[in-house]
Structure 1
Amino acid sequence: MASHSLIIGCGDTGVRVAARAVAAGDRVTGVVRSQASAAKVRAVGAKALLVDLDTDALELPACDRLFYFAPPQREGETDTRMARVLAALDGPPTYTVYISTSGVYGDCGGAWVDETRPVNAESERAKRRVDAERRILDFSPQARVLRAPGIYGPNRLPVDRVREATPILDDADGGWSNRIHIDDLGAIAWLAGTRSLDHNLYNASDGHPTGLGVYYDTLAEMLGVASPPRISWAEAEQRFSAMRLSFLRESRRLSNQRLLDDTGYEFAFADFRDGLAASLKAEPPLD
């Protein structure tokens, strides 16, 4: 009998995992919130289940692989959404994968960070993720938690900001930027859901941090426009939202050595320049 993959929060990353699961012969159910998302799930040959994880009564099918990609709700320090989902499941499946965030480490002053570093969540948003990690590891001690930084890919680039010459924080006042291409994240999640691994925690990053300005300048060059103007931290505090500032306050360089050692994974886009070029090529042209 075919294995069943259940993907909670089957958005852009989830659809990529769903496509791999279908190709492997799994029965696949993607839990989504909108008809538009459901159409994308069905397009790769999976079944879509429309559910509001906050309010609906949850009747979830048994599964052999659980992929949990839904973000927490927007307030509080606990992930009540995950609590409801896990309570609705009969028990832990053979494989469990959760995509968390590198924000659980907090500000590390630009230091290199591996998975042995204790969490130090500073924002409520990150504290909800710490709570979610603990919940899923309590539910399934063999779960694999992937701590992802900024996810980029087709239709996930700051193209409009760059074209409109929206200012960015000067690297002299900012910290390090880490990222992963969405295709690599989907591939790593599927790998973690199909193989026994030696650890619970993995930094799912391309392993090549840069200053944020380098990323924006490269994108601007590919778009054929001027590099974004720089502003100081004092000016950023006047112009940027509280959420954006909270990201900019934190600086760390993520090591993915554990991931490489345990899996031998070869990144499709270890160099973000290749990832940007491929993403722009995949995006629909401007009207």
Structure 2
Amino acid sequence: MQTLIIGCGDTGVRVAARAVAAGDTVTGVVRSDASAARVRAVGAHARVLDLDNDPLDDLPQVDRLFYFAPPPREGTVDTRMARVLDALAGSMPQRAVYISTSGVYGDCGGAWVDENRPVNAESERAKRRVDAETRMLAYCGHACILRAPGIYGPNRLPIQRVLDGTPILDDADGGWSNRIHIDDLAGIAWLAGTRAMPHSVYNACDGNPTGLGVYYDTLAHMLDVAPPPRISWAQAQARFSAMRLSFLRESRRLTNQRLLADTDYVFSFADFRDGLAASLRAEPPRD
């Protein structure tokens, strides 16, 4: 099998390692030489490409396509994906997987959200993701879309914020926090890339939402420091960036029941507390 991973970063390298172990010939497309070295370290081939500007007409023919690259930072169209899929137009993969975001649902007022809920993207970044989902399914009708919430894992924790005592929004003013450990996201993506999935869209989450404060307090306890101080929404508007506020405005509780019903996937970290502990053990020591 020829496997192509567009955007072979932290999640992609984990998928690449699984594909190499399965005997696939794997190519990971990355943006830097440092990322290319990580791809080669797991036994895959690496291509350093600028998806916005470099010619893409020599991308390899593909049996499995994993698309993990983010959209551009502006606009409502994922022009990067458009260029990649144009270049792959003569190659129809047996399996295609795209990691999208749960942000396509927009603000759901704290309601439980399954995959039958219509998309309601409110920010431009979420609209770019809706565009990408549409493009991927138009290119490959049997593609699998994984809508992921906040991804955490080694080197993906707000450790410095907690150590610095940076305030967080009080849960009374904020919404629900949904998560997926990066190892589980890679595992789900690989599963979707190796079998026919009954549905085209899945919430790729651990299925156990909490208030954001619970997550930060748990991390603070594990770091043996005081919990972060809380601030109100009015105070947050004065302190936080527009980007961060846009995330905090949206509240939803993601269910992963479709994924559990359709597959035999067993989560490594269904409880974020276990995921945090494992991530901290994998972090490099701090001075």
Q: Distance between the aligned counterparts of 1:196 and 1:174, measured in 2?
A: 38
Structure 2: distance between partners of 1:242 and 1:39:
35
Task: Please say if 1:139 is aligned against 2:139.
Answer: yes
Q: Is 1:216 equivalent to 2:216 in the alignment?
A: yes
Runs of 4+ in structure 1 off by over 3 angstroms are: none
C-alpha separation between the residues in 1 aligned to 2:87 and 2:3?
A: 16
Matched, 1:100 2:62: no
Query: Which secondary structure does the structure 1 equivalent of 2:43 belong to?
Result: coil
Deviations 1:183-220 (A, max 9, x none): 00000000000011100000000000000000000000
Counterpart Cα distance in 1 of 2:86 and 2:265: 33
- The DSSP-based 3-state class of the residue aligned with 2:37 is helix
Deviations 1:244-266 (A, max 9, x none): 00000000000100000001211
Question: What letter matches 2:255 in structure 1?
Answer: S
Please give the residue correspondences for 1:226-245 in structure 2 after superposition, counting only pairs within 5 Å: 226-245=226-245
Letter in 1 for 2:9: G
For 2:101, the aligned partner's letter is T
Task: State whether residues 62 and 91 of structure 2, in contact with CA within 8 Å, keep that contact through their aligned partners in structure 1.
Answer: no
| Corresponding residue number in structure 2 for 1:119 | 119
Structure 1 residue 9, shift from structure 2 partner:
0.1
Cα distance in 2 between the residues matched to 1:19 and 1:218: 31
Aligned to 1:203: 203
Once residues 172 and 200 of structure 1 are traced to their aligned partners in structure 2, the CA distance between those partners, rounded to angstroms, is 35
Deviation at 1:161, TM superposition (A): 0.1
CA distance in 1, matches of 2:259, 2:164: 37
- Alignment match, 1:78: 77
Q: Distance in 1 between matches of 2:244 and 2:228?
A: 17
User: 2-side partners of 1:133 and 1:251: how far apart?
Assistant: 21
Pairwise CA distance, 1:48: 0.3
Q: Which residue of 2 aligns with 1:34?
A: 32
Distance in 2 (alpha carbons) for counterparts of 1:200 and 1:66: 15
Q: What is the distance in 2 between the residues matched to 1:245 and 1:19?
A: 36
Q: Distance in 2 between matches of 1:92 and 1:219?
A: 44
Aligned residue for 2:147, secondary structure, equals: strand
**Displacement of 1:124 after TM fit?**
0.1
8 Å CA contact 2:76–2:124 kept in 1: the answer is yes
Shift of 1:91: 2.9
Deviations, residues 39-98 of structure 1 (Å, cap 9, x unaligned):
000000000001000000112100100000000000000100000000001232000000
- Alpha-carbon separation, structure 1, partners of 2:91 and 2:251: 38
Q: How does 1:1-287 map to 2 (within 5 A)?
A: 3-58=1-56, 59-89=58-88, 90-287=90-287
Contact 2:77 2:127 in 1 (8 A): yes
C-alpha contact (below 8 Å) 2:5/2:12 kept by paired residues:
yes
Counterpart code for 2:113? V
Q: Secondary structure at the match of 1:151?
A: strand
User: How many pairs align?
Assistant: 285
3-state DSSP of counterpart to 1:70 = coil
- TM-score scaled by structure 1? 0.99
Instruction: Give me the identity figure in percent.
Output: 78
Given the two structures, how large is their TM-score scaled by the length of structure 2? 0.99
Q: How far is 1:126 from its partner?
A: 0.1
